[in-house]
């Protein structure tokens, strides 16, 4: 079983909390986390709902393996309608709060309505209450976490909350848990703040039981942990270098989007790379990286814990930032670094700290700053707009200054909080927004890695690498090597990655296991824990079902095939150098085939046959 079979429904408008039984028919079809929460969401929310209105709901959800002894079994997801994209949002986070929620006896928490004044939800096993949070409103994530820990005097209390950026309406605000893990993308934190919900604090001491076949589960979990340990990526590369090992890889192959994706190689990439994080600083002899870190139950531990040089201009008068905190991961380092042209590792680490401290998605944030820098260089944005900040590409001072504003929703930070799409539209240059469905790109140029172009264009939550990470195959050769410059075979590859990812995201496990595991390794763990037959085939079908359900919601929300596209810069301007020089993203060569393989019409709509195949609600 592994499910607790019950969830909390919190009505913020009238302040009531109810316990409900989990719909086990849906659990057998959608498993948990991303899949199951999406099933609840589409059943309960009008797709045309105002994302920031009280009728939108926000679901925090675990998977059946969350909180178990399975490696990486600490994931939770937040499902809602995104204010950034108008599409369904599903943001996934590690850390410890997901496992804590499960240990308290809950598979999910559904939040609905809007509290008349700020509140937080406190959960201690069966006890759940809404508590006034007027004293927390206006506080950062880090301050909120500290105040709640002081109040309850329990170091094991796990907290997720929103920061000042979300309160100020920044459209890509995250929900940060355990200080520096985040349900980061698509503005799920903005939705949470719109409901006057500041935080969720959870303590669970029940343990996670209900395992269908405990002996088989323990045996298969132990076998699969050995696979992770013996694998060069999950056993050695990720713990030592983290995701930041990619900075030099992607730059060398000429697919590192640079200066708002005008270029594909960054001359300063090495200075902000995973290797550079290990190099001793001249000032104090210490490297940027202090140590790696793992989330609940993780045997990979790719997380980065870093410090900033105390003499660096960004923190020399701010001792509160001299300690260790969550360091740079690749996507954040790219958006804050190469995309803005800044090659100052200390500045990027500080800005990343601020993104954690006040809950901003560093990908969307960095990419928005990059677009603003291009507009500034064109003279469209001026110092009058920025309040005197010289917002030039490559300026660490400017990056630091605008981040301090955006984190608190002040001055020009209000404009940056709109995200790249709305900001570029406001200044009359929508073509300079490097977004799909209003969400900013991550760190791979689709002219040099063609599968990522199709990935971005078809992602149900807007441009994102975590919906189908074909980089694994096209660049890294996992599970097999494909040509990054070819479009042939990519629709099939993207679909396989999309479906497998949706299955993993519904289980409670981390997608990073798939550098060593396939569904062949994952399905037996689910099958030993959960009632029903969870074969590899059924897991792949589950992924496809989830993908189609998300797509269906988006179509009903008013999105069309015209939204499955890329910015003109990537479709018309060839890459400026490297192996992809002169090449554009070959989306037109891939998209029709993708629709056909998905069983959709040429307009990208689900057919009745596809709907029937996956048993989707009509």
Q: Could you list the residues that contact other proteins (CB under 8 A)?
A: 231-233, 236-238, 240-246, 248-249, 252-254, 270, 274-275, 302, 329-331, 465-466, 469, 471-472, 475-478, 481, 483-484, 512, 515, 578-579
* Sequence-separated (6 or more) residues with CB below 8 Å from residue 596: none
Q: Which is nearer to other proteins, 52 or 476 (CB)?
A: 476
Least distance in angstroms from the C-beta of 206 to other proteins: 34
DSSP letter assigned to residue 154: -
Element (H, E) at 8: strand 6-11
Nearer to other proteins, 72 or 103 (CB): 72
Instruction: Kindly tell me the sign of the dihedral angle through the C-alpha atoms of 33, 39, 41, 47.
Output: positive
DSSP letters for 356-425? HHHTB-HHHHHHHHHHHHHHHHTTSS-HHHHTS----TT-HHHHHHHHHHHHHT-TTHHHHTT-HHHHHH
The DSSP line for 258-287 is BTTTTBS--TTGGGGSTTGGGSBPTTTS-B
Among residues 229 and 380, whose Cβ is nearest to other proteins?
Answer: 229
Q: Closest distance between other proteins and the C-beta of residue 152, in Å?
A: 36
Task: Tell the smallest beta-carbon distance from residue 579 to other proteins (Å).
Answer: 5
Cβ–Cβ under 8 Å, residues 344 and 315:
no
Question: Judged by CB, which is closer to other proteins: 512, or 553?
Answer: 512
To other proteins, the closest distance from the beta carbon of 465 in angstroms equals 6
Cβ nearer to other proteins, comparing 27 with 300: 300
Q: Shortest gap between Cβ of 262 and other proteins (angstroms)?
A: 18
CB within 8 Å of 503: residues ≥ 6 apart: 31, 35, 519, 522, 539, 540, 542, 543, 546
Minimum distance, C-beta of residue 93 to other proteins, in the bound complex (Å): 15
Answer whether 525's CB lies under 8 Å from 224's CB: yes
The smaller minimum CB distance to other proteins, of residues 13 and 518, is found at: 518
Q: Which is nearer to other proteins, 139 or 465 (CB)?
A: 465
**In the complex, least distance from residue 298 CB atom to other proteins, rounded to whole angstroms:** 15
Write down the least CB distance from residue 232 to other proteins, Å.
4
Residue among 444 and 600 whose Cβ is closer to other proteins? 444
Rounded to the nearest whole angstrom, what is the least distance from the CB of residue 435 to other proteins in the complex? 19
Torsional class of 358: left (φ above 0), alpha (ψ -120 to 50), beta (otherwise) = alpha
Query: What is the DSSP code (8-state) at residue 171?
Result: T
Residue 193 contacts residue 200 (beta carbons within 8 Å): no
Question: What DSSP state is assigned to residue 10?
Answer: E
DSSP H/E element including 306:
strand 303-306
Smallest distance from other proteins to CB 334, Å: 11
Asked whether the CA dihedral 384, 385, 389, 395 is positive or negative, the reply is negative
Q: What residue spans of 475-515 are helical by DSSP H? A: 490-504
Cis peptide before 435 (omega within 30 of 0): no
Burial class (CB in 10 A: 0-12, 13-18, 19+), 227: middle
């Amino acid at each position: 079983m592994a499910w607790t079979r019950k969830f909390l429904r919190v009505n913020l408008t009238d302040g009531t909390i109810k316990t409900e039984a989990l719909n086990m028919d849906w659990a057998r079809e959608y498993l948990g986390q991303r899949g199951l929460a999406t099933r609840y969401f589409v059943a309960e929310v009008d797709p045309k709902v105002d994302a920031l209105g009280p009728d939108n709901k926000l679901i925090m959800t675990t998977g059946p393996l969350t909180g178990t002894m399975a490696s990486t079994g600490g994931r939770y997801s937040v499902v809602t309608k995104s204010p950034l994209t108008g599409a369904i949002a599903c943001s996934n986070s590690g850390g410890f709060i997901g496992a804590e929620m499960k240990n308290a006896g809950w598979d999910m928490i559904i939040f609905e309505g809007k509290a008349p004044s700020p509140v937080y939800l406190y959960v201690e096993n069966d006890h759940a209450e809404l508590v006034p949070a007027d004293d927390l409103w206006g506080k950062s994530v880090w301050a909120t976490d500290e105040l709640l820990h002081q109040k309850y005097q329990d170091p094991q209390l796990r907290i997720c909350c929103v920061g000042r950026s979300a309160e100020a309406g920044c459209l890509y605000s995250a929900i940060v848990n355990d200080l520096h893990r985040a349900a980061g993308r698509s503005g799920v934190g903005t939705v949470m703040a719109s409901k006057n919900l500041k935080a969720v604090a959870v303590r669970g001491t029940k343990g996670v039981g209900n395992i269908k076949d405990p002996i088989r589960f323990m045996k298969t979990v132990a076998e699969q942990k050995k696979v992770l340990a013996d694998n060069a990526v999950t056993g050695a590369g990720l713990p030592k270098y983290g995701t930041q090992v990619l900075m030099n890889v992607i730059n060398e192959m000429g697919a590192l989007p640079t200066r708002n994706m005008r270029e594909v190689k960054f001359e300063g990439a090495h200075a902000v790379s995973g290797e550079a994080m290990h190099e001793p600083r001249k000032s104090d002899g210490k490297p940027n990286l202090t140590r790696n870190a793992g989330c609940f139950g993780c045997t990979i531990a790719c997380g980065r814990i870093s410090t900033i040089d105390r003499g660096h201009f960004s923190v020399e008068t701010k001792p509160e930032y001299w300690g260790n905190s969550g360091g740079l991961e690749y996507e954040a380092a790219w958006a804050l670094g190469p995309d803005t042209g800044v090659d100052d590792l200390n500045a990027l680490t500080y800005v990343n700290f601020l993104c954690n401290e006040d809950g901003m998605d560093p990908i969307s944030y960095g990419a928005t700053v990059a677009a603003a820098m291009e507009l500034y260089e064109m003279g469209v944005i001026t110092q009058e707009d920025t309040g005197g900040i010289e917002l030039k590409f490559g300026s660490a001072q400017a990056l630091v200054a605008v981040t301090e504003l955006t984190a608190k929703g002040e001055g020009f930070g209000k404009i940056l909080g709109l995200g790249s799409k709305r900001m570029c539209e406001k200044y009359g240059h929508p073509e300079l927004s490097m977004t799909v469905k209003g969400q900013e790109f991550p760190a791979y140029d689709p002219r040099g890695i063609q599968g990522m172009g199709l990935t971005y264009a078809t992602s149900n939550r807007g441009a994102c690498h975590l919906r189908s990470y074909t980089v694994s195959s096209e660049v890294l050769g996992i599970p097999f090597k494909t040509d990054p410059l070819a479009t042939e075979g990519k629709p099939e590859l993207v679909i396989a990655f999309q479906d497998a990812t949706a299955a993993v995201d519904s289980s409670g496990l981390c997608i990073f296991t798939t550098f060593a595991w396939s569904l062949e390794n994952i399905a037996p763990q689910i099958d030993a824990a959960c009632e029903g037959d969870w074969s590899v085939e059924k897991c792949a079908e589950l992924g496809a079902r989830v993908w189609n359900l998300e797509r269906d919601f988006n179509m009903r929300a008013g999105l069309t095939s015209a939204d499955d596209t890329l910015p003109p810069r990537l479709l018309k301007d060839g890459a400026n150098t490297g192996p992809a020089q002169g090449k554009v993203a070959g989306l037109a060569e891939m998209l029709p085939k993708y629709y056909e393989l998905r069983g959709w019409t040429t307009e990208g709509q689900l057919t009745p046959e596809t709907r029937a195949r996956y048993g989707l609600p009509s």
